[in-house]
Amino acid sequence: MKREKQKPAPQKKRKETREAISWFEESRKQQKKILKRSTSTPKKRGYVTTNYALAKGKKGKYITPEEYKNQQKVLKALEKTSQYLAVETNITVILEKIAKTVTTALGAKQLTVWDFTPDKKGAFIIAAYGMQKQYIEHSRKDPLPIGGAWLGRAMATGQAWATSDIWKDPVLPKSWLRAVKKQNYHGLLCIPLMRKNEIIGGMCLYHKDPHEFQFFEINIMTIVANQAATAIENARIFGDLQTERTKTISIIYSLNDGLIMYDPEGRILFFNPRAQELLLVGLKDVIGKKIDEVSAKGSIYLENLQRVSRLVQKDYAVKEYATEGPQKLILEVTQIPVRDRKNKKIGTMHILHDITREKEVEQLQASFVTIASHQLRTPLSGIKWSLDSFLKGELGPLNQNQKGLLAKIFDTNEHLIDLVNDLLDVSRIEEGRFGYTFILSDITKTVDKIVQNLEINAKSRNINLTFEKPSGPLPKVSVDTSKLELSIQNVIDNGVKYTDTGGFVKIKLRTEKKSLLLIVEDNGIGIPKKDQGFIFHKFFRAENAIRYQTEGSGLGLFIARSIVEKHNGLIHFESEEAKGSAFIIQLPLDPEKMPKGKIEGL
Ligand code: ADP
């Protein structure tokens, strides 16, 4: 250990030299530590081929201040290479810049960066400095086998492999010598590119002359290899993200719905082509801008956009908007919150769905139904009164046969009148013309009246129709009696209609804290599970109901629900096929204080 006593530098008092000495001492200490940790015997100097375990240090020689200066130059280069990672985004540019800087700093001739072939059996060059194009292309056409040559060994073992002179190296297959001589290099160092213990590529440094690689150079190359590996990994992650982003964007771009995304401050982040088409607003007019701060400058299109943006304020709420201007559209606007992985809200989205055609068709249907029903109502009423006169014998005595037949015609006519009335009610509901007049009433009386009306029918079918009245008087509720009657009648009527002879329909009225509950329970045919989601839809009838009772419009429950909801109430049911059903109508005692969405006491 003679060299330890040697004075490290000439006696210049310059700051740089002082720093050099302290660094020199420090580096000696470090290297001693590494040597202590090293388990294997260091190779003798003057080697031809050697491999290095990366993590364990192998013996290197101590450096002189002169060498230190060189190393400073190399470290500077290293600092530069790390900057490329931060500044550049193109992976080839990063690797090529790293290659050039490191090659120059280490006084080498060429540098190559290698990647695995997809089958992991070979390697090819992905970036290089100073290397002939043919060699690079050749590596792509005919990849170097993993395990063979210096690079192949580095990529197979995860260790650095070097030769001080490839021309003299006995490891080099004889057949390669010509090609290597053509390349015109002697010293070669190959380092694996590692990411979290995984070999993801390799890197080779070529020296024009025979060159014995120093521990420092190998360390530097290892650091550079780590940087390159980071760059490649980042590029891969970035590439994957790009692919995902492209996928998402193409989905959004090809959506048939308009999509506007806002950041938490209300700036428009995204405005897909369909939104541009629906609102006739160009991307550049709105992107990155707060829509409220955009001056509409008398543009009806920008005004449409501003109104759409302000229209829906609650998440998941849906509203309709009719555009103004030459393009008349009806848009259904839905607001959806945008959340990140941690469920933090990072923006809001408006989905614009063009419902113009549906609305037109609906309008057409409604007008058709109204006109047709009005045209039918008068003649049907005429027929009813004429039949009534016949049946009462006002037009002369009838025999039993004639009476029976006319009674049947009367019933059929009644069904038709009911149907026309239902159709008219539905079109009034849909057009918002189903006017309501609310007054405080006692529901018990209304239910009583309905039950009495239905009793004859129930008796004729031997169905036990009962009304369990509340013991005391019920609080009065604010209702439109005639409308509510229609609603309750539909529900009780269904109970009777869909229950077998000998069955029962039980009606109960009771008060809860904030509401009145009317419960209609039967032991009839029930509603199959698969149909339960649809029974409030217009014209829907379950298959078992159609089989059991051919007559029916599928409008009763639609009307019933619409009326109950206008009273701020709820209609709910529970049912099992072949066992029976229970329908519950909840009416609020005070419509202002009624919590929405849940039946009380259930
Ligand atoms: P309609 O009775 O004219 O078919 P509604 O709108 O009143 O039309 O009812 C819709 C459907 O709901 C019925 O066709 C039937 O399938 C089902 N339904 C309603 N009430 C009952 C009930 N009490 N028992 C069994 N099914 C019922």
Give the model confidence (pLDDT) of 125-171 as tens digits.
Answer: 999 999 888 888 988 998 988 988 899 999 998 888 999 899 888 87
- Indicate if the pLDDT at residue 222 is higher than 70: yes
Mean pLDDT on 564-580: 95
Q: Could you tell me the strand order of the sheet in which 580-588 lies?
A: 464-468, 504-511, 515-522, 580-588, 570-576
Distance 355 CA to ligand 1 centre (A): 29
Distances (CA, A) of 183 to 131, 132, 175, 277: 9, 9, 14, 61
Distance 494 CA to ligand 1 centre (A): 6
Give the integer Cα–Cα distance in Å for 319 and 471.
45
Above pLDDT 70, what percent of the chain? Answer: 89
Q: Closest residue (by CA) to atom 19 of ligand 1?
A: 494
* CB-based contact 496:559 (threshold 8 Å): no
Q: Which atom of ligand 1 is nearest to the CA of 546?
A: 14
Per-residue confidence at 91, pLDDT binned at 50, 70, 90?
A: confident
Residue 208 gets which letter from DSSP? S
Task: Determine the pLDDT at residue 341.
Answer: 87
Distance 554 CA to ligand 1 centre (A): 7
Mean pLDDT on 361-377: 83
Mean pLDDT on 267-282: 93
Q: Closest residue (by CA) to atom 11 of ligand 1?
A: 541
Mean pLDDT on 402-420: 92
Enumerate residues lining ligand 1, CB below 6 A.
490, 494-495, 498, 522, 524-527, 535, 540-542, 545, 552-558, 581
Which has the closest alpha carbon to 216: 48, 39, 38, 78? Answer: 78
Q: Are strands 464-468 and 504-511 parallel, antiparallel or unpaired?
A: parallel
Distances (CA, A) of 499 to 173, 561, 581: 95, 21, 10
Q: Which of 426, 527, 538 is the best mutation target for the ligand 1 pocket, counting ligand atoms within 8 Å of the beta carbon and taking the most?
A: 527
Burial class from Cβ neighbours inside 10 Å (0-12, 13-18, 19+) for residue 38 reads middle
Q: Which atom of ligand 1 is nearest to the CA of 422?
A: 3
The phi, psi pair for 439, rounded to 5°, reads -135, 155
Distance 542 CA to ligand 1 centre (A): 7
Distance 540 CA to ligand 1 centre (A): 8
- Give 338-346 contacts, CB < 8 A, sequence gap 24+: 338/261, 345/264, 346/263, 346/264
Give the integer Cα–Cα distance in Å for 412 and 409.
5
> Helices 215-254 and 91-105, interaxial angle, to 10°?
170
DSSP, collapsed to helix, strand or coil, labels residue 432 as coil
Q: Which atom of ligand 1 is nearest to the CA of 522?
A: 23
**Which letter, b or e, does each residue of 339-355 get, where b requires 16 or more Cβ atoms within 10 Å of its Cβ?**
eeeeeeeebbbbbbbbe
Q: Which of 531, 541, 543, 550 is the best mutation target for the ligand 1 pocket, counting ligand atoms within 8 Å of the beta carbon and taking the most?
A: 541
Neighbouring CB atoms inside 10 A of 526's CB total: 21
Per-residue confidence at 61, pLDDT binned at 50, 70, 90?
A: low
Per-residue confidence at 362, pLDDT binned at 50, 70, 90?
A: confident
Give the integer Cα–Cα distance in Å for 418 and 51.
97
Distance 390 CA to ligand 1 centre (A): 34
The phi, psi pair for 62, rounded to 5°, reads -75, 150
Give the integer Cα–Cα distance in Å for 204 and 218.
11
Distance 506 CA to ligand 1 centre (A): 17
Distance 555 CA to ligand 1 centre (A): 9
DSSP, collapsed to helix, strand or coil, labels residue 317 as coil
Q: Which atom of ligand 1 is nearest to the CA of 583?
A: 23
pTM of the model: 0.52
**Which letter, b or e, does each residue of 157-181 get, where b requires 16 or more Cβ atoms within 10 Å of its Cβ?**
ebbbbbbbbbeebeebeeeeeeebe
Task: Determine the pLDDT at residue 407.
Answer: 94
Neighbouring CB atoms inside 10 A of 213's CB total: 22
